[in-house]
Chains A and B, each alone.
Chain A
């Protein structure tokens, strides 16, 4: 009789993980010597990483393509604003404002996850617009005008910048580690089974709704944390911006170019996106058109993204979440 064991993590992957750990420590020490400009840019990079990783969790692993996750970015920011107004210290509200979104996403999942593929994508967009309209009705937000998180000017600029930077670093690290752990476990196998064939997954006993709901709520909280961190660094809350479709476009770009359904892909995508933004961002409309062209070229010619290219070179995917099996004699 043949049994199978799961292959251990390859040496190269261990090196990547160790390198990531070291990078985390170096980034953690960076505020002591890095310039304010670098700290600000890296804060934004970590926010992008959070967005890309959580969106990839949903689209790349559970097969749920959402173009409405800006709803959670905006809601996270809005919750933070409301909490600070109610007297919660702003740095606590960064985490609390994100976490509380789970309470909204959980019941929401009961409705939207009944929809399939295209319907789900459209429903999420509609929901995002609806939530924006509702938030705009809040007199505190004053319609289109919005509200600024002006209490943050009470803190010393350097202290504030570095605190938000470190929080973004830790949260980005946490989002990566949590999704890695989750995908490595039973949930990872289940989500990929659902993505590949939902009915087949159901027939072998995967509770598809439960699994999709967990992933949906996680992705919502991730986006909300990105929203609170972004508000804390930008301060200005204007509903059309916080709930703007651009967040979904960014997420789509980063994940598509980095590599959908891989753990490294969204991180590489976020780094590439940030680099493009820094170099070409001044070109305005041309920059946006360029992003679109890059995304189209990737979709047509490199559908598995940068990680796909790496995999071809190496003969396997670095840090894959696929279960590789070794025949084992008993």
Chain B
């Protein structure tokens, strides 16, 4: 079993042949050698993820997790009586969708991987899935609302799936309704909710799906209307929320926008009247809260993985608690949800390769996803019961950032609602928001 970093999917050799092409005539014979064919008994997994650039925080754990996988399968994996070595090829998207697409194509063309995996945000998962779909290479992706994966790439409700090679497992936009109703009913409020939703796909999907669900559950919803991502002034929305007397705010901001909004909300006196500040999309990482300082304590969020998840990851061989501890020991930062979420991606990948019966047959690997049920760090992932073909859903839990009772990290993430994942233990009661915690 090996694990190697493939910086960009283009080897020295293939680059030389490319140079040769540029010089045409003289070097033509060398071009005909398709020298990149994989050895017959090594499974090659291409892992494409954002490891530098603005989304780099999502990929912090990747190299460490790939190393753990290498350890688990040091003696290979036995599939249908044959033992295969496992090789993971790491490629960085640099947080750029164009590069994600290009890197996927390069990896497929030069290394012929048996399965491509990718994680975190539609800017990563969609270009990678599209490139795999076009090249006829199976792929599985995670950590992007499944609606963005399916409808954002041309899937149409009620029609057969147009995708043959790309698969996805994640939470969905529809999960927020039941989660928030459960979480918000845990404390006494006037049930007036202010919604801060940008004019992007997530914002609009949430506007159409979540607002009716909240109203049906007895909440009174005040929508401040769509705004452009990257806004620097939220005073209109803040005044609107103040005038309506809301005690709950629910925001789905582009992550850099949240501190802008939240600082203004504190300056203009909105934060002082709130009991719940519920944020999604932003607020996933402790680093964001540390950036907010005193304003960060008490912000409520959702979590797709937590170190208290009572599951373990077969591919890395670690329990959830061990994943969190290992992350802190290896990366030197507070554990993040990505540790478990991306471990689950490896779990699903290995389960699919094993279930295929023949991991070197791309059609067999793709077919395996149809009925795949895999145990992972985020619980059981079941592709046979997906909302649409080729998609499996995973749960979200409600959570709240609170002041850590002991160091070294100032914030701790408490599980405050488990309506969608009853197996996950609650670690604290939701506390009303108060500046400074």
Which residue numbers of A lie inside 8 Å of B, CB to CB? 23, 26-27, 30, 33-38, 40-42, 44, 136, 142-153, 157, 160, 233-236, 238, 241, 244, 246, 271, 275, 278-279, 281-282, 284-285
Closest B residue to A153 using CB positions: B133
Q: Judging by beta carbons under 8 Å apart, are B152 and A35 in contact?
A: no
With A33-B32, A40-B109 as given contacts, are A144 and B229 in contact (CB-CB < 8 Å)?
yes
Contact with A along B7-28 (1 / 0, CB 8 A): 1101000110110011011001
Q: Which residue of A lies closest to B25 (CB)?
A: A26
Q: Choose one: B15, B22, B101; the contact of A234 (CB below 8 Å).
A: B101
With both beta carbons as reference points, the residue of chain B lying nearest to A287 in the complex is identified as B94
Asked if B136 is at the interface (CB within 8 A of a chain A CB), the reply is yes
Asked if A235 contacts B148 (CB within 8 A), the reply is no
What's the least CB distance linking A156 to chain B, in Å?
A: 8
A279 lies within 8 A of B15 (CB): yes
Inter-chain pairs besides A30-B21, A144-B229, A150-B130, 16 sampled, C-beta below 8 Å: A33-B28, A35-B36, A37-B36, A37-B110, A136-B199, A144-B201, A145-B202, A150-B153, A152-B134, A153-B134, A157-B135, A234-B101, A235-B130, A235-B133, A235-B134, A279-B15
A42 x B21 contact (CB < 8 A): yes
Pick the contact of B201: A35, A142, A150, A285 (CB < 8 A). A142
Which single member of A30, A145, A284 contacts B92 (CB below 8 Å)? Answer: A284
Q: Is the CB of A234 within 8 A of B34?
A: no
Residue of A nearest to B153 (CB): A148
Q: Are B130 and A236 in contact (CB under 8 A)?
A: yes
Alpha-carbon separation in the docked complex, A259 to B283 (Å): 48
Q: Smallest CB-CB separation from A23: which chain B residue?
A: B24
Question: Given that A143-B200, A143-B201, A146-B152 are known contacts, is A238 also in contact with B97, CB under 8 Å in the complex?
Answer: yes
B435 on the A face (CB < 8 A): no
> Which of the 9-residue segments B158-166, B286-294, B371-379, B390-398 touches chain A?
B158-166
A38-B229 CB under 8 A given contacts A235-B101, A282-B92, A284-B94? no
* A144, A236, A281 interface centre (most CB from chain B within 10 Å): A236
Judged by DSSP, the binding face of B is helix
Q: Spot the interface stretch: B67-75, B119-127, B331-339, B409-417.
A: B119-127
Q: Is the CB of B123 within 8 A of A285?
A: no
Contacts of A145 in B (CB 8 A): 122, 126, 148, 151-152, 200-202
- Residues 331-388 of B at the A interface (beta carbon under 8 Å): none
Residues on A with C-beta less than 8 A from B123 are 238
Chain A residue at minimum C-beta to C-beta distance from B19: A275
Interface residues as binary, B99-117 with A (CB distance below 8 Å gives 1, 0 otherwise): 1011001101110000000
Residues of A within 8 A of B97 (CB): 236, 238, 241
Q: Are A271 and B92 in contact (CB under 8 A)?
A: no
